[in-house]
């Protein structure tokens, strides 16, 4: 079985990554690629030295007949998807932007500091955290693909709050991301000279991804205070999140046992052997999340360390995983990747 897929936006890092994974998917025909700035160019131009890229022109979506298109991926800058979705009535949609992740329009306004332009659709989107919402995703027409930081944080946390393994009402998340998370739009802050040999925390007092993290955790644990501080690493890819939850040795053993069992059938969720630390090199180039569970020296805290490739598990890979779930394909199709370190 093959489905017809089209993609909005291929010039950004997420869109490029999506195409490079999708072209080898055995159940996918890429039938349309749309872009304003790139209109008329051949897709091959963006991947000049890759084999497998289909010979397809970037076209104007307004002239495209979506009747035979089964699925649309939106890889557009934030706030552009909300102008488009209503016009894509005949096909399913996976939106990789942040536009439909926050279901409550008031919360959207708090986090994004403007009115949402497609409020009625907000509730129709499923939050596409593959392993957690698999059943719902399977039945969804609209999927909002999670943010990269939330993916690294929610996968270990939701199960332990959902099943009340942990009942702490306070949690600290110290995350570190490579620069590709910030996108390809040129700005002084993203220049090589400014990032190289540097490191800093940013958006300390307000980062939009906290909105997603709070929304999803509070589904299972109403009263909780979440502190989330992101930092910028001088590397291209990868997110490492260090998560601190109060808990003694007994609680730690319980969390460890529970999480491993909970995810025992999920091939993209991997646990480090006891005492071994995960690293970004171990996941970059894959759709895996790698989880290490530790206690601090004084056995008062549980430390969860997670690593993902922000462009794959944190974006394009999870989007394909969601497509695989929605259409009943093998969930790992086109997602078993050979890593080339680094």
- Pairing outcome for strands 301-308 and 225-232: unpaired
Measured between its terminal Cα atoms, the distance across the chain in Å is 36
- Residues near 36 by beta carbon (within 8 Å), at least 6 away in sequence: none
Cα distances (Å, whole numbers) of residue 202 to 176, 177, 192, 262:
10, 11, 17, 33
Query: 94 forms bridges with which residues in the sheet?
Result: 73, 143
Interaction of residue 222 with a copy of itself, rule CB under 8 A: no
205 in contact with a copy of itself (CB under 8 A)? yes
- Residues numbered 20 to 59 that lie near a copy of itself (CB under 8 A) are 20-21, 24, 48-52
Binders of a copy of itself in range 286-315 (CB under 8 A): 286, 288, 290, 292, 294-298, 300-301, 303, 305, 307, 309, 312
Task: Name the one range near a copy of itself by CB under 8 A: 30-38, 127-135, 136-144, 171-179.
Answer: 171-179
Size of the site for a copy of itself (CB under 8 A): 90
Which is nearest to 241 in space by CA: 165, 292, 188? 292
Phi, psi of 275 (to 5 degrees): 85, -10
Under rule CB under 8 A, residue 193 binds a copy of itself: yes
Q: Which segments within 35-107 are labelled E, that is strand?
A: 58-59, 71-74, 92-95
Known catalytic membership, residue 69 = no
Binding flags for a copy of itself, 100-119, as an x/- string (CB under 8 A) = --------------------
**Contact mark string toward a copy of itself, 1..20, x via CB under 8 A:** ------------x------x
**Residue placing its CB nearer to a copy of itself in the complex, 163 or 199:** 199
Candidates 69, 75, 148, 307; catalytic one: 148
Q: Is 227 in the site for a copy of itself (CB under 8 A)?
A: yes
Q: Whole-number minimum distance, CB 98 to a copy of itself, in Å?
A: 16
As beta bridge partners, residue 228 has 173
- The catalytic residues are 148
């Amino acid at each position: 079985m093959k489905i017809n897929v089209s993609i909005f936006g291929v010039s950004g890092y997420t869109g490029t990554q999506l195409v490079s994974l999708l072209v080898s998917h055995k159940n996918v025909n890429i039938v349309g690629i749309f872009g304003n700035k790139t209109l008329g160019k051949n897709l091959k131009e963006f991947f000049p030295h890759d084999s497998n890229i289909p010979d397809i022109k970037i076209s104007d979506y307004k002239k495209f007949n979506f009747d035979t298109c089964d699925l649309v991926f939106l890889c557009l800058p934030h706030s552009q998807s909300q102008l488009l979705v209503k016009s894509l009535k005949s096909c399913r949609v996976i939106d990789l932007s942040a536009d439909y992740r926050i279901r409550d329009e008031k919360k959207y306004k708090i986090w994004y500091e403007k009115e949402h332009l497609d409020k009625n659709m907000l509730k129709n989107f499923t939050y596409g955290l593959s392993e957690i919402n698999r059943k719902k995703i399977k039945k969804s027409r609209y999927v909002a693909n999670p943010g990269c930081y939330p993916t690294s944080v929610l996968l270990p946390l939701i199960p332990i709050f959902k099943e009340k393994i942990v009942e702490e009402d306070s949690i600290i998340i110290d995350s570190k991301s490579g620069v590709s998370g910030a996108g390809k739009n040129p700005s002084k802050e993203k220049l090589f000279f400014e990032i190289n040999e540097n490191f800093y925390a940013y958006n300390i007092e307000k980062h939009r991804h906290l909105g997603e993290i709070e929304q999803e955790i509070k589904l299972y644990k109403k009263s909780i205070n979440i502190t989330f501080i992101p930092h910028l690493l001088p590397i291209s890819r990868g997110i490492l999140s260090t998560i601190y939850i109060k808990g003694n040795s007994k609680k730690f053993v319980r969390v460890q046992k529970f999480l491993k069992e909970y995810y025992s059938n999920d091939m993209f969720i991997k646990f480090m052997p006891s005492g071994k630390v995960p690293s970004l090199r171990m996941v970059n180039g894959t759709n895996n999340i790698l989880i290490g569970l530790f206690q601090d020296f004084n056995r008062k805290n549980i430390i969860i360390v997670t690593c993902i490739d922000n462009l794959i598990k944190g974006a394009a890979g999870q989007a394909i995983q969601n497509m695989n779930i929605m259409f009943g394909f093998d969930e790992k199709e086109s997602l078993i990747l050979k890593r080339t370190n680094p």
